[in-house]
Structure 1
Amino acid sequence: MTMTQERKPPELSRTAQRFARASSTSVGAMLAKIIIIAVVDATALFAVFTALGQKAWAIAAVIAVIAVAVNVVYFKRGWLPAKYLLPGTIFLLIFQVFVIGYTGYIAFTNYGSGHNSTKDDAVMALLQSNQERVPDSPGYPVTVLERHEDLSLLVEHDGAQMIGDSDTPLAPISDAELSEYTQLQFADLLNRQQEVTSLYVPISQDPSQGSLRTSDGRTAYQYVSTLVYDQSTDTMTDSKTGVVYSDTGVGAYTSADGAQLMPGWSINVGFDNFVRAFTDSSIRSSLATVTLWTFVFAFLSVATTFFLGLFLAIVFNDLRMKGKKIYRVISILPYAFPAFLGGLVWAGMLNRDFGFINQVLLGGAQIPWLTDPWLAKFSVLWVNLWLGFPYMFLVCTGALQAIPDELAEAAKIDGAKPFQIFRLIKLPLLLVSVTPLLISSFAFNFNNFNVIYMLTEGGPRLEDAGLNVGATDILISMVYKVAFIGSQRDYGLASAFSIIIFVLVALIAVISFKQTKALEELN
């Protein structure tokens, strides 16, 4: 037997493969991987302890599972597909699944203005926000100290030095601990006067003993709350009026006549937000009006942009057309323009008093393009047409050029006229290609916040509406206003509206894709 016919022992072959794999991974790459995983683990550990501190057990468990999965996948030999899929899966969970799930959770709570914390925080806030100075209370010499930009009060009481801040009641302090603080000088007190005067330091863990406040940074006085909290009966009593407020299960202390003390706290309200959306007459009418306009706006936006884009695609696809490249470049320029910036520019151009449209094109006319309900709707559709037709133009151009010319030539031989060729051959084939894009465009315009808010901010205001909505508001802009505009911000109701939008868009997508499948089978 020759040397070329001899085979290496299996053990030597496997050893050589292991050596090759080990040598293929450099020491630098391994160190970089260890450092990156260490940073991920440290971040995850911090997030877990933070979640546990907030008693968010589910979130802490999910973060721990993700951290373990990252370590297993990236320190395990092989599993190459998982190394690429895991980052995308994690981001999907964080930015999609978690957001949707959290929105659903908020929709079943009363979370909003005055109801954005826990009950314990609400009790403390009520006792602190209703404090008055105790008559003839003695003055306490104080010194305002600073540590990490947070202010504290140093009090001389019974020969002992005690320190406290807004979150920590007064407690004795040693000289070593005191060395960590910096005393505010007179100039600093003047510069931070608002912070100093708004600083209150609880005297003890018992909120009924009140707190110390100072107006000059030198002398503090005792302030006590006009509300008296009885933990055994879970009630708040106004010491001035004698009115008793109790927890009636609505997330706020409520008196017998229905008056509530604010702030309250966040509680689970079940389907109350959804019930309000459909049964409260003021909310229901606003929701119905905005929903109808949302469908009309989305449908007309898709229809107008599609037909204009299709018309231009047909014109520029004609072989007899000269300068097609120049016209195509000009036509797609609005597509390169940011939508929010386009809305702002058009808002200036359509201004009634000094806009370019009225002053230059219409010779100084006073047409209220953005303040009349119907003209505002027309303006929104016009601007969205200007922004959206280039996309449809590009899509239709590509779809038309993908249709074989032989089909049109065969139809001509059979005596078909150009319009018949387009209606019976090209258009059905075109719809097969672009219908999924039309569906996605409808869903996009259903939530097209930019053009609505940048152009009209949803206005003009509907005076008879129960919510802060306008004639051009669509559902997503209404959700934004309910959640973030005005003194009363109702995140729970806004989240319920978001769930309703999600369901509507999902139903529309399902029905539309079924029709698309039927269209494909027909062709």
Structure 2
Amino acid sequence: MTMSTAVPPAPPTTPTEPRVRPRPESHARGSLTAGYVAKLLLVALVDALGVYGIFAGSAHESWGIVGFLAFALLLVNLVYFVPSRRLVPAKYLVPGLLFLLVYQVFVVMYTGYTAFTNWGDGHNSTQADAVTAILSQNERRVDGSPSYGLSVVEKDGRLGFAVVAAGRTPQVGTATTPLADAPGATVADGVVTAVPGYSVLDFSSIVQRQQEITDLRVPVSTDPNAGSIRTTDGSVGYLYRSTYSYDASSGVLTGPEATYRADEKVGNFVAANGQKIEPGWKVGVGFKNFTDVLTDSSLRGPFISVLIWTFAFAILSVLLSFGLGLFLAITLNHPRVRGQRLYRSLLILPYAMPAFLSAVVWAGMFNQTFGFINTVLLRGASVPWLNDPWLAKAAVLLVNLWLGFPYMFLICTGALQSIPADAIEAAKIDGASGLRIFRSITLPLLLVSTAPLLISSFAFNFNNFNIIYLLTQGGPRDLTAGVNVGSTDILISFVYKLAFQGVNRQYGLACAISILIFLIVASVSAATFRKTRALEELN
């Protein structure tokens, strides 16, 4: 007989409500936590900088900057203070997006715009400014003109003149503000001693700023033909008028020897015989900057030679550094080599040092008179390492090899570890030599992982401005060229010299060549990436 135990019935269950996790309170709702206070302070700082930028942009009538800053401030405050889950991703994206717009999109668009203008020395402002500059550069004192009692005044760091003419109200003006009546001015002994809103300079201040005062011209009126007031001693002013006259209705500038008409195609006043008068003004020139690179004889030769050297420098830098790095990686990867970690640590030391510091040190070592290489290694030789065109190019390649091979050594060492040892062992069993194994197995498999890095290294060296500027500054200079260019200049340093060095800086032309550099690097990189796809089949 089987004994069974009675199981008591289970108590009735009542459905329980699912537990709901409390929704975290948004900082935007005003809870004074440490995170909210930190966010409030950071956004307040951003708002303060933005408002300051808006006022500064308004003062310079840069309405595009004003509009962007207003939009950015509105967006930042909306994203960080409106309580909405949909805006959570924007909190992480907006800062990067704004920096992208400022430092990438704006720079690219402005470079593209400038490339189609004649912006540069002599063409950096408006036609009205050009007229004012031409008239002021050719001003002469008007014969028989009366003298004015003059005081030098200052407002917001800008100098001006306060003048008194017989029987007239005192007037005050600056270089950018024509003379205007100053009824509240105080006059004593025929000179102005006080002007509301201005400070009158004393004799010692006039002596200290004498050159600045003698160079100052204050327009008589808004009409550029009316002339200006100038002084030679800071106490007496005279009326100066230009030997040129300008007719705004016809756009004609009349000089002592010729008549010039405004030509909007070139941004200059041009005479009937083709003579231009400087300065001009900024205008759009279409593709002229791009065509000048190949059609202007003073640019074509230097540009082609610089382009050839740029390709040679980039290709040789990649090949030499990759070759040396690969050789050292294979050598130290051999199992019989002892102290591998020590040797590898020593070989990456050049990579650990700042590149700009290494370049400056090498420049000192290559000094012809006091450099370590000539005085110590070559025992007092006088080899012009940086003064001879070919030796300078060799020095640049040597220094770039020193800076670049540790990187190649690292990536080759890592890539060698991914090559299957079975494939190499099978090749050895089949009787393949070491050279055949390297050529047919090691190198192809190595290029599968390193080819993209080699392409990026080529693009980097194609625009390696630092090594050129810090080591040779592009020199030695080619005196036969019509522009400022040196034997070791690459395209990017050539562009830098066109834009920021010399007496004739050409921003438009420099931007056009910058666009050409981008197109060249992009084309070479795209073509090379297409070729590297064939290596993927080796996997």
Is 1:312 aligned with 2:328? Answer: yes
State the Cα deviation string for residues 394-430 of structure 1 (Å, max 9, x = none): 1111211233434434444454444443333222221
The match for 1:493 is 509
- Looking at structure 2, the residues matched to 328 and 274 of structure 1 have their Cα atoms a distance apart, in angstroms, of 48
Q: How does 1:297-376 map to 2 (within 5 A)?
A: 297-376=313-392
Is 1:401 aligned with 2:425? Answer: no
- Aligned to 2:402, the other structure's residue is in SS state helix
CA contact (8 A) 2:179 2:218 kept: yes
The match for 2:223 is 206
State the Cα deviation string for residues 252-311 of structure 1 (Å, max 9, x = none): 111122222221110000001111112223322221111111111110000000010111
Aligned length: 517
The match for 1:511 is 527
| CA positional deviation for 1:476 | 0.8
Is 1:451 aligned with 2:467? Answer: yes
| CA positional deviation for 1:178 | 3.2
Q: Identify which of 197, 200, 208 aligns with 1:183.
A: 200
The match for 1:91 is 99
The match for 2:169 is 160
- Aligned to 1:111, the other structure's residue is in SS state coil
The match for 1:5 is 15
Is 1:103 aligned with 2:111? Answer: yes
The match for 1:170 is 179
| CA positional deviation for 1:63 | 4.2
The match for 2:260 is 245
- Looking at structure 2, the residues matched to 21 and 358 of structure 1 have their Cα atoms a distance apart, in angstroms, of 67
* Structure 1: runs of 5 or more not aligned: none
Identity of aligned residues (%): 52
CA contact (8 A) 2:27 2:35 kept: no
The match for 2:152 is 144
Q: CA RMSD in A?
A: 2.7
More helix by share: 1
The match for 2:249 is 232
- Looking at structure 2, the residues matched to 342 and 21 of structure 1 have their Cα atoms a distance apart, in angstroms, of 49
The match for 2:76 is 70
Q: Which amino acid aligns with 1:216?
A: D
- Aligned to 1:7, the other structure's residue is in SS state coil
Q: How does 1:128-143 map to 2 (within 5 A)?
A: 128-143=136-151
Is 1:123 aligned with 2:139? Answer: no
- Looking at structure 2, the residues matched to 440 and 321 of structure 1 have their Cα atoms a distance apart, in angstroms, of 31
The match for 2:190 is none
The match for 2:7 is none
Q: Which amino acid aligns with 1:181?
A: Y
- Aligned to 2:170, the other structure's residue is in SS state strand
Q: Identify which of 217, 239, 242 aligns with 1:222.
A: 239
| CA positional deviation for 1:234 | 0.6
| CA positional deviation for 1:2 | 8.4
- Looking at structure 2, the residues matched to 170 and 23 of structure 1 have their Cα atoms a distance apart, in angstroms, of 56
- Looking at structure 2, the residues matched to 71 and 100 of structure 1 have their Cα atoms a distance apart, in angstroms, of 27
- Aligned to 1:160, the other structure's residue is in SS state coil
CA contact (8 A) 2:229 2:239 kept: yes
| CA positional deviation for 1:83 | 1.1
- Looking at structure 1, the residues matched to 69 and 29 of structure 2 have their Cα atoms a distance apart, in angstroms, of 34
CA contact (8 A) 2:393 2:488 kept: yes
State the Cα deviation string for residues 477-509 of structure 1 (Å, max 9, x = none): 111111122111111111111110000000011
| The 10-residue stretch of structure 1 (442-451 or 47-56) with the greater mean CA deviation from structure 2 | 47-56
Q: Which amino acid aligns with 2:169?
A: A
| CA positional deviation for 1:337 | 2.8
Q: Structure 1 28/137 Cα, relative in aligned 2: closer, same or farther at 3 Å?
A: farther
Q: Which amino acid aligns with 1:439?
A: I
Q: Which amino acid aligns with 1:521?
A: E
Q: Structure 1 136/434 Cα, relative in aligned 2: closer, same or farther at 3 Å?
A: same
- Looking at structure 2, the residues matched to 200 and 22 of structure 1 have their Cα atoms a distance apart, in angstroms, of 56
- Looking at structure 1, the residues matched to 213 and 14 of structure 2 have their Cα atoms a distance apart, in angstroms, of 90
| The 10-residue stretch of structure 1 (224-233 or 280-289) with the greater mean CA deviation from structure 2 | 280-289
| CA positional deviation for 1:214 | 1.7
Q: Identify which of 297, 311, 328 aligns with 1:295.
A: 311
Q: Structure 1 29/127 Cα, relative in aligned 2: closer, same or farther at 3 Å?
A: farther
Q: Structure 1 24/130 Cα, relative in aligned 2: closer, same or farther at 3 Å?
A: closer
